[in-house]
A and B are shown apart, each in its own frame.
Chain A
């Protein structure tokens, strides 16, 4: 595969998949790292940055998933909000790095696109 370099002879059990979509004139790049019972989604532009990083998972004590921001100048609300929604939908531990400025229309389109991809490629998540 052109997108990844395989460095050893033993097979890597983690998967990395990329896709892209034009949303509101933004070229949006997606990358999904699939792990055991968890995944990491990166959403960003052509010049890929890892500005924020949040994690979310469902708990037994609350209907809403619990989330935490780990990297980000400000509290990274967009990554955390997206992580919560994905955690609720998948019941997995979800890491999200969302690298666009605050724009709720774009965020909801990104979410919609991710949901579509989960239908097309459930094995990626």
Chain B
């Protein structure tokens, strides 16, 4: 049956941001979401993103980020937290991110693009 092999459900696509081809894959697991955003066709840095238990500011959820693999650069945490606010669906996120350009403009574009990859 064709319907049986669709698990776990995935969405994939690509876009061009500031001339850089960007591949995006989002996979929905029961307990976590996995999202890969890459301009190198590789996972790059893996970040684990959890929602904070008790947010300081109730209007905007806070996220805690932990680098699982790769460069532990401050900007990666910033990008991961911001993207999490778009893609968070109630489950921790495993984010693979590899960007050629980590400017705020790219991050904002990604926030918009990622709306299509929510499950």
Chain A interface residues toward B at CB < 8 A: 2-8, 10-14, 16, 18-20, 29, 31, 33, 35-38, 40, 42, 44, 46-51, 53, 55, 68, 70-71, 93, 95
Interface of B is mostly: strand
* Complex CA–CA separation, A11 to B14 (angstroms): 6
Q: What A residues does B41 contact at CB under 8 A?
A: 13-14, 35-36
Neighbour of A71 across the interface among B25, B30, B94, CB < 8 A: B94
Sample of 29 A–B contacts (CB below 8 Å): A2-B6, A3-B9, A4-B11, A4-B12, A5-B10, A5-B11, A5-B12, A7-B13, A8-B14, A8-B15, A10-B13, A10-B14, A12-B14, A13-B21, A14-B12, A14-B23, A14-B25, A14-B38, A16-B27, A18-B5, A33-B10, A33-B36, A35-B38, A36-B41, A49-B29, A50-B32, A51-B31, A68-B69, A71-B48
